[in-house]
A and B are shown apart, each in its own frame.
Chain A
Amino acid sequence: MPERLPGEAEAHAPEPARAPLLEVVQLRVHYGAVAAIRGVDLTVAAGEVVALLGGNGAGKSTMLRTISGLSRPRAGRIMLAGEAIHRLPPSRIVRLGVAHCPEGRRVFGNLTVAENLRLGAAARRERAGIGEDRERIYALFPILRERMTQPAGTLSGGEQQMLALGRALMARPRVLLLDEPSLGLAPLLVQQIFRTLAELKAAGITMLLVEQNINLALDLADRAYVLRTGEVSLAGSAADLKADYEAVAAAYLGARP
């Protein structure tokens, strides 16, 4: 690399406001011989909520797993605030500010609600403010405070989803990855979860959301990508996609409008 002249770095540095917080570049992920993601580009700016739509097997969960470091890309890169994270172990990635609220909730059923929340903060670098963050989560989900000494395995599905979300928030993430937060929940609970997500968005939390429910996702998101068999088949602002429902449906199914 040629030596930089003084001041050059500054001159060439992208403007912070326009630099994506999370940037996925030409990502390819394989499971054995099968390509799950084939060259996807994706960006999420700070404060933005981006939805990742698509049918089963489109590669949505694989995308989130790869960002979190659970799957390794075959090619391409993942940048968080300009730093490459795609070769780091999951614990480092969480430490750098990516929290993942996984599909199926995956709370620790043998541990209490309070212990689950505590572990959510175990990896975070900034130790100050953990107590306040926990209070904020209890304020967001009062039922969790009532159940704080119960094993998480005894919670209902909706309560477990709240706990999974709270656990991810305890990491005080720069980017929150959400995988199917509405899965398997009663409509009323889904509404409640999405109201909470809207509050989090208003509070400025950056999210990358995988969701089967297109309407809910597009109502919340600023922008959306539709994945089909590992490729981006449609991308645009949430408002545009909502207005052109047929294009979204076509992008799901594969026929180009």
Chain B
Amino acid sequence: MSSELYITQQIINAISLGSLYALVAIGLSMIFGILRMTNFAHGDMMMVGAFGTLVLGSLGMGFGWAVLAGIAIGALAGVIVERTAYRPVRGAPEVTLLLTSLAVTYILENLGILIFTSSARNFPLPDWMNDAFQLFDGQITFTQINLLTVALTAVALAALGWFVTRTDVGLGMRAAAEDMGAAHLVGLDVNRLIIVAFAIASGFAGLAGILWAAQSGVVEPHMGFTPLLKAFVGAIIGGFGSIAGALLGGYLLGALEIFIVAFLPSEISPYRDAIVFILLIGFLLFRPNGLLKRSQEVKL
């Protein structure tokens, strides 16, 4: 196998994995940006979205519609969690917010266990989804799922980019993330902005959950935990609270994980996650604002 083709294959893998991290990291970063809250329940929206698609698919809904419905169910779940759990404690100390989101995580995951049991279920995919494209005599391989992951992520990101630069609500979300008090003063309805942020963030997580399940083939109530941790690392690397930063951090992390396994000696591969978290600690120590975010400005 030629090395160029091998590298190309790894880049494809990195983009595919990075897309998932980016989708989750963006939502995490959006919610932190506007509420200054690390939403640990964010990963569970992956589970909600994936189960939504699973159930609707098994009821006979076409796969495409089931995916869209799964995204919508994820978004709705995020809005319900905001309304019932987070709004009552808004403005509370950070520890309260943190514990509340952990409580929501436990409730959602145990609800998932109650309804679906804790054993993993097969995620039903249409057969064509597992079709693989083989180029250069199979030296480069990718599946429809890879392709779909990258395509749907690109569409979602383009839509988000349009939304936050071209609409009043999107601009308002960025404004509120920067200075909540000034957002109030220009008359923005901050409650509405927060609902929209949760809907988008959770819808993205739902999509990521569906794609994650499609790639791994299974759905289970704790499926959101590991991607959430990774997305958290990605968001911090890029600059927590910044959408562009989360995007960059998510893809960098995806690339890092793939390349550690692909290009470093095989003895190092088992330490992949350790390397990722050492990187996180390094960023927290030496560049806590991440790659893209400017240092915290003094607020009056």
Contact = CB atoms under 8 A, between A and B. Distances in A.
A91 B181 contact: no
Provide the main secondary structure of the chain B interface: helix
Contacts of B189: 89, 91, 123
Contact of A122 (B165, B168, B178, B297): B168
Contacts of A153: 294, 297
Interface residues of A, number: 31
B171 A91 contact: no
A167 B174 contact: no
A91 B190 contact: yes
Contacts of A111: 171, 174-175, 178
A110 B171 CA distance: 10
Interface in B168-183: 168, 171-172, 174-175, 178-179, 181-182
Given A106-B179, A110-B174, A119-B168, A171 B300 contact: no
Interface string B47-70: 000000000000000000000000
Contact of B168 (A93, A118, A167): A118
B186 A115 contact: no
A94 interface: yes
Contacts of A123: 186-189
A90 B188 CA distance: 8
| Size range of the chain B interface in the assembly | 20 to 34
B297 A109 contact: yes
A119 B172 CA distance: 7
A109 B242 CA distance: 13
B178 A102 contact: no
B184 interface: yes
Interface string A137-169: 000000000000000010000000000000110
Interface string A79-115: 0000000000111011100011011101111110001
Contact of B185 (A68, A95, A115, A124): A68
A196 B62 CA distance: 62
A106 B165 CA distance: 20
A91 B188 contact: yes
Interface in B184-215: 184-190
B243 to A, nearest CB: 10
A69 interface: yes
Nearest to B242: A110
Given A106-B300, A108-B175, A123-B188, 13 more contacts: A69-B184, A90-B185, A91-B187, A94-B186, A100-B185, A104-B300, A106-B181, A111-B171, A115-B165, A119-B171, A122-B172, A123-B189, A167-B186
17 contacts: A68-B184, A70-B181, A91-B187, A91-B188, A94-B187, A102-B181, A106-B182, A108-B175, A108-B178, A108-B179, A110-B178, A111-B171, A119-B175, A120-B186, A122-B171, A122-B172, A123-B186
Top 6 closest pairs, chain A to chain B, by CB: A123-B187, A94-B187, A104-B300, A106-B182, A90-B184, A108-B175
